[in-house]
Amino acid sequence: MIGAKYVVRTALAAALGMGLGLSAAYAETKIGIAQFGKHPQLDETVTAFKAELVKLGIADAVFDELQVNFDATLIPQMVTKLASANPKLILAVTTPVAQGARQIVGNTGTPVVFAAVTDPVVAKLTPSWEAGDKNMTGASDLQDVDSVVKFIKKLLPDAKRLAYLYNPGEDNDVAVLKLVKEAAAAQGLTVVEVGLDNTNDIPIRVSSLAGKADVIYVPASNLVQPAVPAVAAAALSINIPIVNASAQAVRDGLVAAAFEVSYTKVGQNAAKLAAEIIAGKSPASLAPIKPSYADHTALINEKVLEKTGHKAPDTFKDCGCFVK
């Protein structure tokens, strides 16, 4: 069954005194929130979305929230129920929910703002990255490879050779390889490709990087990410630091660093688009937002980094991004 419905009525008297010109126009704004299920990153997105609307001066917003416990078969029912209340717009969190919302309300007058969607163009939610659909736009959580490589160079300024572990049979891994090569060239880095089609080969393939690579980047690969412990063990044996696509491995003491998309920023970006739509702009006129460098969060494990013979530069001294 559909998860519990939450109606959140927020009095924003404080926001009215902030001098934000939008506030008066937004009294009693009804917003539907369709979430796939309860999950830390998705919850973070929704919380940030609502908080950012407050900052934008949207007064006395009413949020109708539904979630379907990750049961995709219930998405049409959830979206239909939210749409029946005639909200000003619907926030659709995750790709399956956004696709369901497009099917249900795509040809109605209810705008949809998506959030935590990796590639809205591939998902057929928007015609391109330069424009929204006639009834939909939103905020992506696509990791920006250029930003990741800039972070790697900032963390390891003397690095010259970047090893990229990937599965040649996984389309996403291959697509990211192309982006890594372009970004690395701009930072004066040479990419060392390490193709893997079997996790059993990881110790040998990673160990072969001794003297051939200065840092390893592990992307969000379906093959490689579950094997990060094996990658980390092999890399540590040859003193090569790892920058991972996900921060959990940093917290677990496996890798030196990560640079991942902040879901607080994703929620805030979605709220900015929602405010524009509520103010009268068409979703089609608003390009979906890709995360920028500032929309990512760094996490560094000093102990692991030092085990590979490196220290974080002084530029990170006040970053607040070290594992405690």
CA distance 167 to 223: 7
Query: In the predicted model, what is the mean pLDDT of residues 290-317?
Result: 96
With beta carbons less than 8 A apart as the criterion, state whether 236 and 210 touch. Answer: no
* pLDDT tens digits for range 106-124: 888 899 999 999 899 989 9
Angle between helix 263-278 and helix 40-55 axes, rounded to 10 deg: 40
Percentage of the chain lying above the pLDDT 70 cut: 92
Query: In the predicted model, what is the mean pLDDT of residues 287-296?
Result: 95
Written as six digits, the tokens of 97 are 């929910």
Q: What angle do CA 187, 191, 193 make, to 5 degrees?
A: 160
Domains and CATH numbers, the chain: 6-141+263-291 (3.40.50.2300), 145-244 (3.40.50.2300)
Banded pLDDT at 1 (limits 50, 70, 90): low
Banded pLDDT at 16 (limits 50, 70, 90): very low
Strand partners, 138: 114
- What Å distances lie between residue 282 and 86, 185, 277, CA to CA? 17, 38, 6
Provide the 3-class DSSP secondary structure of residue 316: helix
pTM reported for the whole predicted model:
0.81
